[in-house]
Structure 1
């Protein structure tokens, strides 16, 4: 006789890790001197050296997982450059550049496009305001695209024309989750076994209908874990690097056959970013 726990274990999907190539930026100039999202408060002190140490933990975690990690040089005066995910979106060796909403971050767009060009990617200069992989997530063959606070809906049309893939627009409604990658995590992007996690309260009614219909087995993350940017995570299909304080999300990941790996990026959270914000996937 198979006990219930054993039966549950046997029913889990087999998760498989796939080596990832990512781009990161060391937070040598990180601080909070302006406010462009609800997480930022220039009145609160920040510790750049602590931010660097925490970032290095994430960097070492990726190396330990066998990832190829490339680095872009940080630029003085661009404290948010550490959030590399916003610097573009890369599929099939084509890098769609970022065009930032706020003037404080706009110089990051050319900096990242310069790096892409110097490293052999075909660079597509954007016509529309967009903040890269902060709002664009590849799930299987489909691109989920966020709008409402940063990236414009016209950028979604650009994506579809550029990559020839289905693009699904999702409207974000909670200013604390202003980028799609703060409200939704891609756990398995393998075509045919797509799996995500998300926070329902971050989306409008139409978006929730889409998510529930397309991903009925999605992990639903609670408000407490979302509030420490637990969903701002990065998965290789088996190992999911998450905020160490997102305890219930970690529990759910284990129940679904994943290996959650917690890291502390609490200092970078003061700028409104977490694991995924620091991670731009490079898909050749």
Structure 2
């Protein structure tokens, strides 16, 4: 089966200032201490695993006072050489975006204007089969996707997230190749599942228990699936489909509600948008 056309170049941010100093999702508990030395080891292990699988990893410098900047997936959406900045729901994360805009603009990226409504980057929008599977209902909004469809020319398929624990789409959905994706049915509304059933020819269901282990928050490089955890059942299912599973312990980052995908932003995505044509948002 054809591999994903993207997922060979990632942006990561070292966890120099990572901690749980506020709570903006059900996983965050400010009484839980982060072991920063262990977090650095886990982050380096993830970056090394991605590179060993054949990916390029760029690093944006961390910034004091922005502990969640390590979760670069939420920084925005990439389309070719254009960066569409995220519009964060929570004030604690909003200052991250200015740093990413300056860093990418300094490397000859085109920086677009963010939507007026909340949209939390690639953490809530992943490309699959010619469309952008876009989450809403917890953090991002449908209004933001309508704006992006009109301005960028993308085809966007929205899915509603039904469980506050799975507050971004990358906790419930993971493209694996051109026809296969991990899907956590228990985290999505029934209409959204019907929409995905029409879109994904070969879905790999993830149980609620596996979703809570962040199994769907994985990064795919070719036929290698880099996962924060993987049950024996899910491992067998993936191996039967010709994937190699590489488990990376990122448990320090799980304290803030993040896994492998959250810690990466794919820089090699091309959504083939045509800004002269208005695309439909399937809601």
Q: Is residue 68 from structure 1 mapped to residue 56 from structure 2 by the alignment?
A: yes
Q: 2:209 aligns with which of 185, 209, 224?
A: 224
Task: Report how many residues are paired.
Answer: 268
Q: Corresponding residue for 2:11?
A: 23
Taking a change above 3 Å as real, the CA distance of residues 174 and 18 of structure 1, as seen in their structure-2 partners, is: closer
Q: 1:99 aligns with which of 87, 91, 101?
A: 87
- Equivalent-residue separation in structure 1 for 2:68 and 2:139 (angstroms): 15
Taking a change above 3 Å as real, the CA distance of residues 218 and 28 of structure 1, as seen in their structure-2 partners, is: same
**How far is 1:251 from its partner?**
2.1
Q: Is residue 171 from structure 1 mapped to residue 160 from structure 2 by the alignment?
A: yes
Q: Corresponding residue for 1:6?
A: none
Q: 2:78 aligns with which of 90, 102, 110?
A: 90
Q: Is residue 212 from structure 1 mapped to residue 201 from structure 2 by the alignment?
A: no
- Equivalent-residue separation in structure 1 for 2:4 and 2:151 (angstroms): 29
Taking a change above 3 Å as real, the CA distance of residues 76 and 42 of structure 1, as seen in their structure-2 partners, is: same
Deviates more, 1:242-251 or 1:228-237: 242-251
**How far is 1:113 from its partner?**
1.6
Question: Aligned with 2:202: secondary structure?
Answer: coil
Taking a change above 3 Å as real, the CA distance of residues 128 and 19 of structure 1, as seen in their structure-2 partners, is: closer
Whether contact under 8 Å (2:13, 2:61) holds in the other structure is: yes
**How far is 1:109 from its partner?**
1.5
- Structure exhibiting the larger radius of gyration computed from Cα positions: 1
Equivalences for residues 179-258 of structure 1 within 5 A: 179-188=168-177, 193-258=178-243
Taking a change above 3 Å as real, the CA distance of residues 269 and 19 of structure 1, as seen in their structure-2 partners, is: closer
Whether contact under 8 Å (1:26, 1:74) holds in the other structure is: yes
Structure (1 or 2) with the greater helix fraction: 1
Whether contact under 8 Å (1:14, 1:257) holds in the other structure is: no
TM-score normalised by structure 1 residue count? 0.90
Unaligned runs of 5+ in 1: 1-12
**How far is 1:115 from its partner?**
1.7
Question: Aligned with 2:39: secondary structure?
Answer: helix
**How far is 1:65 from its partner?**
1.7
Deviates more, 1:228-237 or 1:270-279: 228-237
**Greater relative contact order: 1 or 2 (C-alpha under 8 angstroms, separation 6 or more)?**
2
Question: Aligned with 2:74: secondary structure?
Answer: helix
Q: Corresponding residue for 2:67?
A: 79
Taking a change above 3 Å as real, the CA distance of residues 69 and 44 of structure 1, as seen in their structure-2 partners, is: same
Whether contact under 8 Å (2:138, 2:161) holds in the other structure is: yes
Q: Corresponding residue for 1:149?
A: 138
Question: Aligned with 1:278: secondary structure?
Answer: coil
Taking a change above 3 Å as real, the CA distance of residues 245 and 225 of structure 1, as seen in their structure-2 partners, is: same
Whether contact under 8 Å (2:7, 2:222) holds in the other structure is: no
**What CA deviation, in whole Å up to 9, does each residue of 1:252-278 have, x standing for no partner?**
111111111111001100000000000
TM-score normalised by structure 2 residue count? 0.90
